[in-house]
Structure 1
Amino acid sequence: MPKQVQPLTQLQVRNAKAKDKPYKLADGGGLYLEVMPSGGKLWRMKFRQVDGKENRLSFGAFPDVSLVDARAKRDEARQLLAAGTDPARARAEQARQARLAEQNTFEHLARDWHRTMINKWQPQTADEIMRRFEADIFPAFGHLPIAEIQAPDVLDAIRAIEQRGALEIANRQTANCSRVFKYAIRCGLAERNPAEFLREVLQPREKGHFAAIGAEGLPEFLRELYANEACMGVPTRIAMRLMLLVFVRTSELIETPWTEIDLEKGEWIIPWKRMKRGKRRINPDKTDHHVCLSRQALGLLQDLHRHTGGGTYLFPNLRDPKRPMSNNTVLKAIERMGYKGDMTGHGFRALAMSTLKENLGYRHEVVDRQLAHAQKDKLETAYDRAKYLEERRKMMQCWADYIDRVAAEAMRASPGRADNSMP
């Protein structure tokens, strides 16, 4: 028959004095207080494992763990034993799960997902995604175990972004959070995606467009361009006119090396690696782009060659000729003309597309290919390269002639201004 143990009292525990060697004060049910020579008092429990081997559990030190708390821990361990579960192993598993929960926070999984995806993004895209996580999401719920995060946790963080008016960023952050949760599900670390349907409750965002004038605003724009050219350097003046004539993307123009231009043949072919869709990490479009130069555009390039033809770039940086002109040069020129907020470098493309289709009657497919927009499939891409090139050459000459006519009419309507018509 087991020996009956008299339970300890609070006074006994508090008054237990240290001795030369450790000694034990039993409380019953395997629980005892071990008093150390240093004066420390540790709660322990002796028990036999399911396989009959003797083992011990530690419940902490008095007074951090009171007598009542120690007994509660003992009773919990005894319940596990009665159910055939080893309390030591149960505690180890609980500690392991706690460590996993601490490691598998949203921030930990988001950074892990980011590392797996980084080679599929452009560097600036990867940097922007992580920067937004660090600014908007991690401070809100990044510290929480991903399996415990609820939809309101995510929504509160997204609403905070909406409140500062950044509706597009709110939408993107919701999508990226959803991707992290899906990654956690695939890794077996979560069972649901609390961000999956949140985009349906976000504030609707207005479709944005680059600022651009329409065909009706072209005469006044040309008048302002010619009036302000005296304040521009020759390369900037020619860059502005070429933006209008060939409507390539600003970076594609200012970063052009002279090696791409054949002045004798009148050709400009941009290698696919310099094009927007050619820079994609995944499935880049390896189609070189024919700019299709009009007589007027070729004349501008011949004039420019006399100024910068000895260097690498059409438009060298004034401070460092080994680098191309800054994009801000074009934006500042537009600003000095009084068109800040009404026109951008990209606006020349929008102006050309709408005017060529609506005023000059060109088909969307031809204009779209000249703008180097993505095609629907490879067959269509091959077809428009073969079929549209001659049409595009005619269209670009027609566009340049149209600008000349508009410029001439605009200058006649403003007799006080000098005639600076396009060459």
Structure 2
Amino acid sequence: MALTDTAVRNAKPKAKPYKVTDSQGLYLLVNPKGSKLWRVKYRINGVERKLAIGAYPAITLAEARAARDAARKQLAHDIDPNAAKRQAKVEASIRANNSFSLVAGELIEKKAREGLAEPTLKKMRWFVKLLGTDFGKRPVSDITPQEILHELRKQEKRGKLETANLLRSFISRVFRFAVATARADRDPAQLLVGALITPKVKHFAAITDPAQLGGLLRAIDDYQGDPAVMHALRLTPHVFQRPGEIRQMEWAEVNFEKKVWTLPAAKMKMRQPHAVPLSSQALAILESMRQLTGKGKYVFPSVRTRDRSISENTINAALRRMGYSKDEMTAHGFRTTASSLLNESGKWNPDAIERALAHMVAGSVRRIYNQSAYWPERVAMAQWWSDHLFELRAGGNQCQPGSLQPQSH
């Protein structure tokens, strides 16, 4: 006989636990201390089992019957209701730790353990901070594309178009990680591809006129300041590398005998190790610096502590003090200067130039070939380039790219 609400309410405790049955396996277990617990009895694979639904009156008779019916549907599909319940608890526990900032923090920590470069990790942390506390507290499973777009539009309104696009990409990475760790079902940021304004490609300002380059090199020679900054500024035109790679140069990476600077993959943008041939001029600059900082880790340590390198914008700040605006010359622009004038010279294989700049060459076979086949040419090119800079600095303004003969390979 089916239970009624009145019968459930009036069921009194006895000296021993007893059952008040409903139908289709549902019953109420009444305990001596007065608690009333809903249970469903079922069989799966020939074994009788019991499913705990909850306590009365928190769970009403109607709700208990609904839970029983749901369990019967699971059984109809060969699903054990108890196993499904345990799985649901696991998923609920996982989803309880699913705020955007927490998931993003786990992703960043994972990438740090995998060896991602510190500047990239720093930018990822900055993205989390940029999104703000309120967004960071939101469960990733609840965040909608509209919420994300609202945050991205804030950056667009400030004119930060590139930041908005990079931020969308970062948010997408966090959601893909959330999906992989069972805390989200989809990546809503992916739906916003094409929704943002595409920023115009910005090129780093660079001097490519030989006469103007000579003037810049003389200004660099006249620059006075912290020795680490002075030497880093003088080395930068010679080695074709990115400003971050130069400022974080370590003495352990420099081999004076072999005349090579070897950068590990973790420091490189393309995550490939890179060797830089050092001209006699570059070696002289480093030798001068070795007398000052050779016992420490960094070639160009911070003036505050030798445990850190000079700061990210140090070389650009020095250029500004020298009178060169950000529209005239940048630290990164020295790479453009070298690329332009070396290509204009017509003396060097374009692939050798690209390899010197540590640009990724398409195609794995060609990439492997470039890492070895062009080394002799790169060694000669590095010395030729430093000699050419010497001529321009000395006032050889009439000297055009290619007027000097490359040294024999």
TM-score bracket relative to the smaller structure: 0.5 to 0.7
Measure how far apart 1:92 and its partner are: 0.9
Alpha-carbon distance change, 325 to 132 in structure 1, aligned in 2, over 3 angstroms? closer
Q: How does 1:284-295 map to 2 (within 5 A)?
A: 284-285=272-273, 288-294=275-281
1:60 aligns with 2:54: yes
Q: Distance in 2 between matches of 1:49 and 1:258?
A: 69
Amino acid at match of 2:37: L
Q: Distance in 2 between matches of 1:158 and 1:80?
A: 40
Match of 1:101 in 2: 91
Note if contact 2:145-2:191 (Cα within 8 Å) is conserved in structure 1: no
Amino acid at match of 2:292: T
**Cα deviation 1:184-229 (Å, max 9, x = unaligned):** 7xx9x999877667535454243344444453864775686577x3
Q: How does 1:380-395 map to 2 (within 5 A)?
A: 380-395=370-385
Q: Distance in 2 between matches of 1:389 and 1:103?
A: 59
Measure how far apart 1:65 and its partner are: 1.9
Q: Distance in 2 between matches of 1:321 and 1:54?
A: 71
1:92 aligns with 2:88: no
1:378 aligns with 2:368: yes
Match of 1:419 in 2: none
Match of 2:292 in 1: 308
TM (normalized to structure 2)? 0.66
Note if contact 2:261-2:276 (Cα within 8 Å) is conserved in structure 1: yes
Match of 1:8 in 2: 4
Alpha-carbon distance change, 205 to 103 in structure 1, aligned in 2, over 3 angstroms? farther
Note if contact 2:247-2:310 (Cα within 8 Å) is conserved in structure 1: no
Alpha-carbon distance change, 190 to 119 in structure 1, aligned in 2, over 3 angstroms? same
Measure how far apart 1:100 and its partner are: 4.8
Match of 2:315 in 1: 330
Match of 1:40 in 2: 35
Task: Determine which structure has more spread, i.e. the larger CA radius of gyration.
Answer: 1
Amino acid at match of 1:69: E
- 2:154 aligned residue (152, 163, 170): 163
Q: Distance in 1 between matches of 2:50 and 2:294?
A: 85
RMSD of equivalent CA atoms: 5.1
Amino acid at match of 2:148: A
- SS of the residue corresponding to residue 395 of structure 2 reads helix
Measure how far apart 1:95 and its partner are: 0.7
Unpaired runs of 5+ residues, structure 1, are: 145-151, 410-423
Match of 1:244 in 2: 237
Note if contact 1:158-1:170 (Cα within 8 Å) is conserved in structure 2: no
Q: Distance in 2 between matches of 1:321 and 1:58?
A: 64
Q: Distance in 2 between matches of 1:374 and 1:408?
A: 34
- SS of the residue corresponding to residue 32 of structure 2 reads coil
Q: Distance in 2 between matches of 1:322 and 1:125?
A: 16
Alpha-carbon distance change, 400 to 141 in structure 1, aligned in 2, over 3 angstroms? farther
- SS of the residue corresponding to residue 207 of structure 1 reads coil
Q: Distance in 1 between matches of 2:17 and 2:284?
A: 100
Q: Distance in 2 between matches of 1:253 and 1:68?
A: 71
Q: Distance in 2 between matches of 1:93 and 1:247?
A: 61
Q: Distance in 2 between matches of 1:178 and 1:261?
A: 44
- 1:255 aligned residue (245, 249, 255): 249
Q: How does 1:1-400 map to 2 (within 5 A)?
A: 5=1, 7-10=3-6, 12-27=7-22, 31-45=26-40, 47=41, 49=43, 56-74=50-68, 90-102=80-92, 120-124=114-118, 127=121, 131=125, 139-143=137-141, 153=144, 156-157=147-148, 160-161=151-152, 163-164=154-155, 165=160, 166-173=163-170, 176=173, 180=177, 199-215=193-209, 218=213, 221=216, 229=223, 231-233=224-226, 236-250=229-243, 251-252=245-246, 255=249, 257=251, 260=254, 269-272=259-262, 275=263, 277=265, 279=267, 284-285=272-273, 288-294=275-281, 304=288, 308=292, 315=300, 317-320=302-305, 325-339=310-324, 341-342=326-327, 343-358=329-344, 363=348, 364-365=350-351, 367-374=353-360, 376-400=366-390
Amino acid at match of 2:200: E
- SS of the residue corresponding to residue 59 of structure 2 reads coil
Measure how far apart 1:98 and its partner are: 1.4
- SS of the residue corresponding to residue 394 of structure 2 reads helix
Q: Distance in 1 between matches of 2:125 and 2:139?
A: 15
Note if contact 2:277-2:382 (Cα within 8 Å) is conserved in structure 1: no
Note if contact 2:14-2:32 (Cα within 8 Å) is conserved in structure 1: yes
Note if contact 1:8-1:26 (Cα within 8 Å) is conserved in structure 2: no
Q: Structure 1 residues 195-204 or 61-70, which shifts more? A: 195-204
TM (normalized to structure 1)? 0.64
Q: Distance in 1 between matches of 2:233 and 2:303?
A: 17
- SS of the residue corresponding to residue 271 of structure 1 reads strand
Measure how far apart 1:385 and its partner are: 1.7
Note if contact 1:289-1:372 (Cα within 8 Å) is conserved in structure 2: no
Q: Distance in 1 between matches of 2:253 and 2:179?
A: 47
- SS of the residue corresponding to residue 193 of structure 2 reads helix
Q: Distance in 2 between matches of 1:309 and 1:63?
A: 76
Note if contact 2:42-2:49 (Cα within 8 Å) is conserved in structure 1: yes
Match of 2:403 in 1: none
